[in-house]
Structure 1
Amino acid sequence: MSARPAHIAVIGSTNIDFVAHVSHFPRPGETLHVHDSATGLGGKGANQAIAVARLGQAVELAGWTGRDMLADMARATLHEVRVNTHWLLSDGLNGTGRAFITINQAGENQILVDGGANMAHGDTACPLLSPVLAQAAMVMMQMEMDPALMVALARQARGMGIPVMLDPAPVPAAGLPDALYALADIITPNENETRALTGILPTDQATALRAADIMHARGTGTAIIKLGSRGVAYSTIHPREGEDARGFVPAFHVRSIDTVAAGDCFNAGLATALVRGQTLAGAVRHGAACGALATTRAGAAQAAPDAAEVAALLAREKE
């Protein structure tokens, strides 16, 4: 049997999203009419896997769905874009995860998540998902699964010499497990996640890099802090020869309508560029382009751009 080609392994959640567009977020006790709604694939794991696939990179998704109609919908969408779902397991006791997303006219979002099967498995389930790591060039993780399971899988990946990229979203109520800082080669929080992790709300490059120093002190080699429309700051304690250890990538100029998938598409673009050998600065810029394009269309997984769209935006911004 021939070996599998190198791939990015994504270990994370698969949800079905129920999205409502409103004029403004409802106040307590207020009832609003929805002016548009949609149902589609979501979950940070599935979103990131699809975003990687649309960039032309081999990707395998590991996690759980239920055994229900929502699982059928999720798997059909993943197969359409050629995400390998061999390690996306079926849970007969818990339903497929669901997310309820409200988006206002400014494109801002509020999200409620019912984790379902995603959150039903602890660290003893590590052997069920760890085969996805075989021959992986990188593993991408998020926090929509049990934190103890994430620690166990990250530890196994590091033991195999596989770089670990951690999106610490959503930050657990008890905080990110201390072990994950040291096990994560790369951590990619946004502003609010950075504040939850470090106590610093980053508003510019300087404050972002101060927060990055805290994450370095806890053991993380590379911290990449997403500042939304203000850009992306990055810092690494292991720069390549001739590469700057710290830097900032300004935001791309696009017309944003929906920020739901921006962070997931950023991470996919970052990971894809890194496994293809780009410098950290180049990979951050590639990720920023992917995230920016995702904000120009509605939805989660369906908002991910393809490689041609990203190349066009990068070329336009150079002009």
Structure 2
Amino acid sequence: MTTSKPGRIAVVGSNMVDLVTYITRMPAPGETVEAPEFEIGFGGKGANQAVAAAKLGSAVGMVTKVGSDIFGDNTLKNLADHGIDTRHAVKVAGRSSGVAPIFVDPSGENSILIVKGANADLSPADVDAAAEMLRAADLILMQMEIPPETVAHTVRRAAEWGVRTILNPAPATADLRVDDLRDLSFLVPNETELALLSGLPTGTEAEIEAAARSLIARGIGTVIVTLGGRGARLVTRERVVPIAPVRVTPVDTTGAGDAFIGSFAHFLAATGDVEGALGCAARYAAHSVTGRGTQKSYATAEAFDAFCRTLPQTA
């Protein structure tokens, strides 16, 4: 699985500090329930995807903002420790950093709240300030924990530069307009996000295909729909390709979607093979749920190769 040509990936996106509580059950309103464990980790969809790609060997730079607090200092150090270029990771005076309280139940399923903090200040001007780094990238990754206008501006500028883009439209927001994404190379929504963006139902395979094709008709290049335990669907103008799920016993599913997208960007930049990159990404995301936490559960290239050798040849 190791690729010989590392790609250059830029991430315009968020960072968070994950406040993870492992629970036996969620409390009812007004109820206090003891939880067995608590951990603090680094997260945020943008930083997660950046770390996944960096751990696999990509050269990664990030455009992001942190607060003027201890969380911000530690986030910048964490990114640098993973070899990520932080020249355009800016500290905002008087702002808190983004935080994400996460609750993980015994089955590994999670519920998440996010407080954007300084992430809400990431602006189109910040994208322009990082133009030299962004235009040199093979791919630019974005998510929706930053302002929609910043995402739209990045898509437009990347099209001018001839750089391919990937948007994970999570968390879903009605403020994101499809018309602002007409030059986007890859959109990677789940079923809920696909329904919100397309305005169409996504309850069946046929409806998922129709909804994805409606977005392609409006100018988006390719849609990759993530379906959890059912794998994913690659939808283009010409075809629909199922991406098979990889069966593992989950310990903690937090950050699995970011592992999928960050690793997809890595493998796509390195090989140019969309289907092959998605197959590798499915395996990488599966590996991530076998460990606790978010970024710390992401495999290096060596660990990922070892995991893949344990899988059936058809996986």
* TM-score when normalising by structure 1: 0.90
The 2-side partners of 1:25 and 1:192 are apart by 23
CA shift for structure 1 position 203: 5.5
Q: Equivalent residue for 1:189?
A: 189
Structure 2 residue 216 is matched with structure 1 residue 216: yes
Matches within 5 A, 1:169-184: 169-172=170-173, 174-184=174-184
Q: Equivalent residue for 2:99?
A: 98
Equivalent residue letter for 1:142: Q
Q: What CA deviation, in whole Å up to 9, does each residue of 1:178-230 have, x standing for no partner?
A: 23431311001123222322345646644432221122122211100111111
The 2-side partners of 1:227 and 1:218 are apart by 23
Contact 2:288–2:298 (CA under 8 A) maintained in structure 1? yes
Q: Equivalent residue for 1:161?
A: 162
Secondary structure of the structure 2 residue equivalent to 1:271: helix
Selected match of 2:296 from 295, 302, 317: 302
- Residues 6 and 57 (structure 1), Cα distance of their counterparts in 2 relative to 1, 3 Å cut: closer
Q: What CA deviation, in whole Å up to 9, does each residue of 1:8-50 have, x standing for no partner?
A: 0011011111111111233333322111110011111110110
The 2-side partners of 1:125 and 1:57 are apart by 23
Equivalent residue letter for 1:181: L
Count of aligned residue pairs for this structure pair? 308
Secondary structure of the structure 1 residue equivalent to 2:268: helix
Equivalent residue letter for 1:317: P
Matches within 5 A, 1:222-241: 222-237=222-237
Structure 2: gaps (5+ residues): 1-5
CA shift for structure 1 position 93: 2.8
Secondary structure of the structure 1 residue equivalent to 2:241: strand
Contact 1:62–1:132 (CA under 8 A) maintained in structure 2? no
Structure 2 residue 289 is matched with structure 1 residue 288: no
Q: Equivalent residue for 1:88?
A: 89
The 2-side partners of 1:193 and 1:249 are apart by 19
- After alignment, is 246-255 or 123-132 more displaced? 123-132
Q: Equivalent residue for 2:3?
A: none
Matches within 5 A, 1:140-155: 140-155=141-156
Secondary structure of the structure 1 residue equivalent to 2:39: strand
- Residues 201 and 109 (structure 1), Cα distance of their counterparts in 2 relative to 1, 3 Å cut: farther
- Residues 195 and 109 (structure 1), Cα distance of their counterparts in 2 relative to 1, 3 Å cut: farther
Q: Equivalent residue for 2:54?
A: 53
CA shift for structure 1 position 175: 3.9
Q: Equivalent residue for 1:21?
A: 22
Equivalent residue letter for 2:177: P
Contact 1:130–1:153 (CA under 8 A) maintained in structure 2? no
The 1-side partners of 2:225 and 2:29 are apart by 32
Contact 1:205–1:248 (CA under 8 A) maintained in structure 2? no
Secondary structure of the structure 2 residue equivalent to 1:170: coil
Contact 1:286–1:310 (CA under 8 A) maintained in structure 2? no
Q: Equivalent residue for 1:242?
A: none
Superposition misfits of 4+ residues, deviation over 6 angstroms = none
Q: What CA deviation, in whole Å up to 9, does each residue of 1:247-270 have, x standing for no partner?
A: 101110111121111111101111
| Higher RCO (C-alpha under 8 Å, 6+ residues apart) | 2
* TM-score when normalising by structure 2: 0.91
